[in-house]
Amino acid sequence: MAEQDPNLKPSRPNWLVQRGSLVAYLLVALAVLVAVNVLASQHDRSWDTTKAHTHSLDPESVKIVQGLRQPLHFIYFDRTENFPAAREFFGRYQRESNKVAVDYVDPDRHPDQAKQYKIQNYGSIVVASGGHQEIVTNMAEQDVTNAMVRVLKGARKVVYFAEGDGERDPDDSGRTGYSELKSALEAENFTVQKLVLAQSPKVPADCAVLIVAGPAHALLQPEVQAIQDYITGGGHALFMIGPDSNGPLVNYLQTGLNVKLTPGVVIDTSGIGQLFGASAVMPIAAQYDPHPITAQMSGAATLFPYARTVDPGAVPGAKAVVSPLLETTGRSFVTPSIASGQVQESPTDRHGPLPLGVAGTLATTSANPSDAGDSAEARFVVYGSPDFVSNSILSFQGNRDLFLNTMDWLSTQQNFITIRPKAPTNTPVNLSAAQMRMIVYTFLLGLPLAVVIIGVGVWWRRRAL
């Protein structure tokens, strides 16, 4: 049998089959690439592997964006060459909701739009939704998300701080003042006002939340009556009552709102507070009860300096429904006094966990509930320490979030209850001199030498063949 000449070309039909198969493979590959690109454009996903997740939204920002019920519009004003970085930033918001739209405007090329929105600086961001808008002057997630919250909340709500009886002052920038608290409230779209109850027979109708913070003197009965009328009419109030407070206000909280305020100071002997530089008279709370205020507080500790216990009461026939919010550790107790500076635990003392705050509701008697609030029920919260939101303590772990969550619930804006985004942290890598020498020897000497040795080996092997 004759052997086939290897120089003979394949017949034309075989050649056509091979070319047809190649074309088919190319078409299939092209179709796969097109499908992948279409899916990628419709389902944009990215993975952030950095330790601090610096290239992805904070979970609380994600919650707000995914909960959008109306369109949200960003307008970014900057030089054109800065748009790529901005697209990466705003893309994080757009990936979470199709209700987010972004426009990029160069104010030098479109001065009319810059004038329309009164833009003065490069990098300014207009956040708009539902007829409301805010301007942010930097591209930081915390600032942008806070502006979103203010815009989505709409009109500012008014918060009144009671004064005239030694209460904490929202304009006081001292250690025990509330100036930082006022700034936090204003950042959350609240307007802060003061109210002298002794001069006002009633709480103003525009009051969203009345705050009574650590009165140094007992309130007079007419002042307490104004508070009672406000709450029974459907109002919302926050009371921060320290161990030294007493008188008609404490009596009203106990009998009228079914809140039990026990005399004495809470002492924490667990030693946990010492890890944060706190003393035994500054108990740590890390146990939270089920409630919208504390639903997302898990894992965040709160610090309550010089606090008293606050329990749901047991008043027969009470109309108020009261629930605990948070407790101390099991290694805590109540001491009658710390005036002598010596605190000794006694078997008869009440031991932890000890409640430090409660939240309650009361059916309104107002004929027109909208005059007093946004809901048909009165809402109130009582904490056993006015110091937990003072200037020196507010920034501790979860204190700011607990307070602002409380305000959102009291003002019936619980859709915005969240843990606020934290500022990005810098995590430097510190290397010793020995570690630096190892890196130099490995990458500047070891790797090049290894490449040379491998190259010589390959050359020698080919030469020997």
Q: Where are the domains of the chain?
A: 59-151, 156-338+348-416
DSSP assignments along 382-417, one per residue: EES-SGGGSTTTTTSTTHHHHHHHHHHHHTT-GGG-
Same fold, 59-151 and 156-338+348-416: no
Amino acid at 61: S
Strands 236-240 and 259-261, sheet pairing: unpaired
- Report the topology of domain 156-338+348-416: Rossmann fold (3.40.50)
Amino acid at 418: T
Q: What is the DSSP letter of 351?
A: B
Structure tokens at 388: 């937990």
Q: Which one of 3.40.30.10, 1.10.1060.10, 3.40.50.300, 3.10.310.40 gives the CATH number of domain 59-151?
A: 3.40.30.10
Q: What is the DSSP letter of 81?
A: G
Q: Which of 323, 288, 281 is nearest to 306 (CA)?
A: 281
pLDDT at 342 over 50: yes
User: What is the predicted pLDDT for the residue at 424?
Assistant: 55
Please tell me the pTM assigned to this model: 0.70
d(CA 252, CA 314): 14
d(CA 437, CA 360): 64
Reading across the β-sheet that carries 124-129, which strands appear in turn? 100-105, 72-77, 124-129, 132-136
What's 247-272 look like in SS3?
CHHHHHHHHCCCEEECCCEEEECCCH
Structure tokens at 462: 């080919």
User: What is the predicted pLDDT for the residue at 131?
Assistant: 86
Q: What percent of the chain has pLDDT over 90?
A: 51
Looking at the DSSP assignment, which residues form a beta bridge with residue 237? 210, 380
The model's pLDDT over 381-414, given as tens digits with 9 standing for 90+, comes to 999 999 999 999 999 989 999 999 999 999 988 7
Amino acid at 5: D
Cα angle: 101, vertex 102, 103; to 5 degrees? 130
The larger pLDDT score, comparing residue 438 to residue 424, is at: 438
d(CA 420, CA 291): 18
